[in-house]
């Protein structure tokens, strides 16, 4: 009888022929051999049971949280507790595996000499982000929200990287698909990013013109200030991006047969434009009135 079988029998109960003392002797012997003997070929195969990642301690929650993603241009400074998401990067999970408590983390930082705030944030601490940032980085929103809730309530969170949404669901997107607050007009497979255009031209806020046209200066400002469909990182496309937008105008739709601004300067007084009626790309005075279609970039 193998040591594993002896333990199993001990737990299930003894036969009438064996005394309680004999059981104790068998169980002790089994325990003594468990660490030194491998199961024989005839022994049952024991499957390893995967364990939950350990919990790592985070800084105390004080009632409000701000989005700490430097690339995010969210319009609000703080978020109520229920609206936050916690982003645990792979480097953070790797570092914190041996420094689960804040005390251990402090010792680690002292030993390694890491003092830069940026490096500490990158390697040691989960990041609080808003929903817009969480979506832009393709975080699993359910997990990231649950992690944030765990931090708020317990001060701890699982020590593992935040899972991402299914890559197949993202990479299946194509030009003309509605995504990221607008419509995809370019897919960069090398840089792994989408270029997304707003669904409509920007309306002129002053409402003093017959058409929605802007000077080049106002075009840049209006694009940068645009907040649409939950995103605030829009910008005026450069010369090449505007040309790509023109080439995909039928897939995107909604363009006028008119002159559109690019963000690329021709010289000190002129900037490049694109005629969406004839395809001409030429420089116009920056005071000229042209149309504006804002765009944004999103990695996948």
Helix locations, 159-300, DSSP H:
167-171, 216-224, 239-247, 249-252
| 99 band by pLDDT with thresholds 50, 70 and 90 | very high
pTM above 0.75, yes or no: no
Q: Which residue has the tokens 């897919």?
A: 187
Percentage of residues in the chain having pLDDT higher than 70: 74
Helix locations, 191-291, DSSP H:
216-224, 239-247, 249-252
Q: Give the DSSP H/E element, type plus range, for residue 11.
A: helix 3-12
Over residues 162-196, the pLDDT tens digits come to 998 765 555 568 899 988 889 999 988 766 788 99
Task: Measure the CA–CA gap between 184 and 72, rounded to whole angstroms.
Answer: 20
> Three-state SS for 153?
helix
Between the alpha carbon of residue 41 and those of residues 2, 44, 45, 120, the distances in Å are: 11, 8, 9, 50
| 137 band by pLDDT with thresholds 50, 70 and 90 | confident
Task: Measure the CA–CA gap between 245 and 180, rounded to whole angstroms.
Answer: 16
Lowest mean pLDDT among 31-40, 150-159, 163-172, 230-239: 31-40
Instruction: Assess contact for 191 and 297: CB atoms under 8 A.
Output: no
Of 85, 167, 76, 169, the C-alpha closest to 126 is 85
Task: Measure the CA–CA gap between 24 and 237, rounded to whole angstroms.
Answer: 79
Instruction: Assess contact for 66 and 128: CB atoms under 8 A.
Output: yes
| Domains in the chain with CATH codes | 3-34 (no CATH), 55-158 (no CATH), 172-299 (3.10.100)
Tell me the torsion sign for CA atoms 88, 93, 97, 102.
negative
Task: Measure the CA–CA gap between 136 and 71, rounded to whole angstroms.
Answer: 10
Over residues 245-273, the pLDDT tens digits come to 999 999 999 999 999 999 999 999 999 99
Model pLDDT, residue 211: 65
Task: Measure the CA–CA gap between 58 and 55, rounded to whole angstroms.
Answer: 10
Instruction: Assess contact for 198 and 292: CB atoms under 8 A.
Output: no
* Residue 179 DSSP class: E
């Amino acid at each position: 009888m193998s040591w594993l079988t002896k333990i199993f029998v001990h737990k299930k109960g003894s036969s009438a022929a064996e005394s309680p003392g004999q059981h104790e002797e068998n169980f002790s012997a089994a325990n003594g051999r468990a660490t030194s003997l491998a199961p024989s070929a005839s022994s049952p195969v024991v499957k390893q049971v995967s364990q939950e990642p350990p919990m790592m301690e985070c800084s105390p929650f004080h009632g409000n949280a701000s989005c700490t993603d430097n690339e995010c241009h969210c319009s609000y400074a703080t978020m109520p507790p229920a609206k936050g998401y916690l982003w645990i990067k792979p480097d953070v999970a790797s570092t914190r595996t041996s420094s689960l408590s804040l005390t251990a983390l402090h010792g680690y930082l002292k030993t390694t000499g890491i003092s830069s705030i940026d490096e500490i944030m990158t390697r040691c601490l989960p990041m609080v982000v808003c929903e817009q940032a969480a979506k832009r980085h393709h975080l699993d929103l359910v997990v990231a929200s649950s992690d944030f809730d765990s931090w708020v309530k317990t001060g701890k969170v699982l020590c593992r990287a935040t899972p991402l949404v299914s890559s197949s669901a993202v990479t299946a997107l194509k030009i003309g698909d509605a995504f990221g607050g607008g419509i995809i007009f370019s897919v960069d497979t090398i840089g792994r990013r989408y270029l997304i255009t707003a669904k409509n031209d920007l309306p002129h806020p002053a409402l003093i013109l017959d058409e929605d046209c802007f000077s080049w200066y106002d075009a840049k400002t209006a694009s940068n200030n645009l907040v649409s469909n939950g995103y605030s990182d829009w910008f005026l496309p450069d010369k090449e991006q505007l040309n790509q937008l023109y080439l995909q105008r039928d897939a995107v739709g909604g363009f006028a047969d008119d002159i559109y601004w690019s963000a690329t300067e021709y010289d000190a007084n002129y900037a490049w434009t694109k005629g969406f009626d004839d395809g001409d790309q030429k420089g116009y005075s920056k005071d000229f009135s042209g149309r504006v279609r804002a765009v944004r970039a999103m990695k996948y």
